[in-house]
Amino acid sequence: MANASADKLKNFGIRHGEKVVVGLTAALFVVFAALSFVKPTIDIKPDELKTAADNADKNLSRKQDTKDILEKLEKDGLKDPEFEKVVENQIANALKPGDYRAKLEWVTPEPGAGLIRDQPEVIAPTELAAFPGRGGILMYALDNKGERIIDAGDDKEKKKPPRRKRAPQSSMPSYGPPAGMAGPPPKEDNSPEAKQRKALEEKQRKEAFVGKVDPAKDKEKDQPEAAPPQGPWKEETHGKRWIVITGVIDNAQMIKNWQLALKNPAIAYPNYKRLDVERRTRQSDGTWSDWEAIDQNKNYEVLDNIPEIDTEYVPEPQRPAALVDPLPYLRAGYWSGVHVARLVPPEVLNAPAPSTAAPGASGMPGAGMAEMGRMSGAPPQGSMPMPGSEMGRGMSMPGMGSTGMSGASGEAEEMNFTKLDAPELMIRSLDFTVEPNTTYQFHVRIVVVNPNKDHTDVNPGVDVESKELLGPWSEETDPVMIPADVSTYAQAPEPTTRRDDLVAFQVIKWDPSTGQTVVKNDIAGPGELIGETGSVQMPSADGGGAKPTQIDFNSHAVVLDTYGGRQRIPDIGVERNPFEVPAVAMVVEPDGSVVIRSQARDKADEVRKDMDANYHQALKDSAEERKPGGGSSMPGPGGKKKKKKKR
């Protein structure tokens, strides 16, 4: 139903709308006409307009001094942006389009292609074991600058026969003639014809130069450069403490990881670079310090200056030079825990101990570098660096690995290293920076060369920048302690009619100056010092036999109390037979700490048994001069499998 008001408005608009619009227009016209008569006109003359235009033109055409303009701009807060320098700098350092190209081409993995490289997984070593040792290492003598000292000797010494048999030159690898072994120089021809020919050549040589030649400088140039000294080098025995860390790498799994990542079996071999080792120390409150890297530079001071090395029992293909430190030749003491027993061939493991009479006398396979006996000279120039040393780390030795050098398909830079096919590899690191009476733990990781360095055929996220890939850290070793230079071990109660609180101690002393270890038994009770000066048999390395020597065995440790001995069982109605109670002694150490020495624990102590056995073995070996190979014991603690800890 329609609205009545709306209908009325619609009818009014239709009938009177035009009239309203015409009325409003007429009213506006009247208003504007009235205003045109009321408002004043613009009071300007043509001459004034012309004058204003001329003035404006003069202002625009007038020259202004540049300094005035700059001063005005500076007053208004504007400064010179030095656009000229900016432009000149841009011209001098033009942008290179190549710098803004994508580092890697866009790669879209296609289903089934299987050619895009991935990141290989580096695994951690397992079966890690650590064992302490002490002895005397034969080393080159060094001066204050760390350089080797020439062994001048004297006439008497030169007339004497050599102290050790040197290895024949033919046993050296064919790296070219060693420095100082290039043969005698040719004899100089002093005939008149030769002198005349030499004078003519000298004249022609001088005429070939332009300008005058200073006779003094010319004479100086003609002088041959002094050749660096090539030995023989002076040798001396240094007493060293060490902890040896051994372990095993699952090389078969590493190869699988490389094959899976690189998609090319021909290059799917890890290139082992080095072994990183960290350690931590047990503190006085029983807690452990933070992990820190061992000082490899100090270790290289030993490994880079050893004239002889000892026998190896693990075959070379399972001893990568980059991951296994060499065994220095010991003039005193024996190596323990340096071979992984299950990697030693059975015929070697079951063979009799090698003789100390001559180097390489055992004839055992896998002796490797020890078969060369003495590394004569080993000068810095023109010689072969020792494997495992700072110069020789990462160096591939001949005969290591079964696939040899490059020659198969694959990129040259990826093939130029020794391939190792053995399913398991041994690792070994020697730490010569340890301190006495200190407990350590170690862990290690493998470092390999990054096979994807600068490659473009890789999946997104693969590291193509780093030169090396760092593996995960292994589990830590069991705690291992370096004994004090004078160590005491409870052995048994000492029965006497005089008193019943005496205990027999085994006192083991190590001499840092010679590296020799000597053992003596001593009896002490509460309030008494353990150890005193006494005569013992001192081992010898020169074949002269053991000799009685006065040694101060004072440990500076005082016995507080003891317990043990023969006691009867309690009276329970049966026969009261006496039984032996193991000795226990409370001892104050030189640093003020109080320790408990237990016969049961000390008797089973592997380190004590090793030192005691080494001393008695050294006494037996003193009748013959020690040779390379005589200081390397058969596999022992280093071959034990470390139990995996539950976390």
Q: Are strands 517-524 and 503-510 parallel, antiparallel or unpaired?
A: antiparallel
Please give the structure tokens belonging to residue 289: 């310090």
- Lay out the sheet containing 594-598: strands in order across: 558-568, 578-588, 594-598
Summarize pLDDT for 209-248 with one digit per residue, the tens. Answer: 444 445 555 555 555 566 666 778 899 999 999 999 999 9
Q: What is the pLDDT of residue 154?
A: 54
Peptide bond connecting 232 to the previous residue in cis, omega within 30 degrees of 0: yes
Higher-confidence residue of 80 and 557: namely 557
| CA distances to 53, 502, 544, 615 from 522, in Å | 126, 10, 28, 17
Question: Could you tell me the pLDDT band of residue 570, with boundaries at 50, 70 and 90?
Answer: low
Q: How far apart are CA 129 and CA 444, in angstroms?
A: 11
Type of residue found at 606: E
Amino acid 538: pLDDT: 92
Angle value at C-alpha 576, between 572 and 577, nearest 5 degrees:
145
Maximum mean pLDDT: which of 50-54, 182-186, 347-351: 50-54
DSSP H helices, 62-142, are 66-75, 83-92
Report the distance separating Cα 429 and Cα 31, nearest Å.
112
Residue for token digits 């090539």? 230
61: left (phi over 0), alpha (psi -120 to 50) or beta: alpha
pLDDT band at 403 (very low <50, low <70, confident <90, very high): very low
Q: pLDDT band for 504, please (50, 70, 90 cuts).
A: very high
Query: 476-494 as b/e, with b when 16 or more CB fall inside 10 Å?
Result: bbeebbbbbbbbbbbbbbb
Specify burial of residue 526 (Cβ count, 10 A radius: 0-12, 13-18, 19+). Answer: middle
Classify burial at 509, counting beta carbons within 10 Å of its beta carbon; exposed 0-12, middle 13-18, buried 19 or more.
Answer: buried
Residues 6+ apart with CB under 8 A from 125: 247, 248, 249, 427, 444, 445, 446, 474
User: At 487, is the pLDDT very low, low, confident or very high (cuts 50, 70, 90)?
Assistant: very high
Name residue, tokens 């008569």.
37
Residue keyed to tokens 């004072």: 554
Angle in degrees, CA 56, 57, 58, rounded to 5: 90
Instruction: Summarize pLDDT for 101-130 with one digit per residue, the tens.
Output: 776 566 555 544 557 899 999 999 999 999
Residue type, 334: Y
**Residue range 30-41, pLDDT digits in tens:** 888 888 888 877
Domain boundaries, the chain: 66-100, 126-133+233-482, 486-639
Does residue 65 surpass a pLDDT of 80?
A: yes
Residues in the chain, overall count:
647
Please report the pLDDT score of residue 107 as a whole number: 58
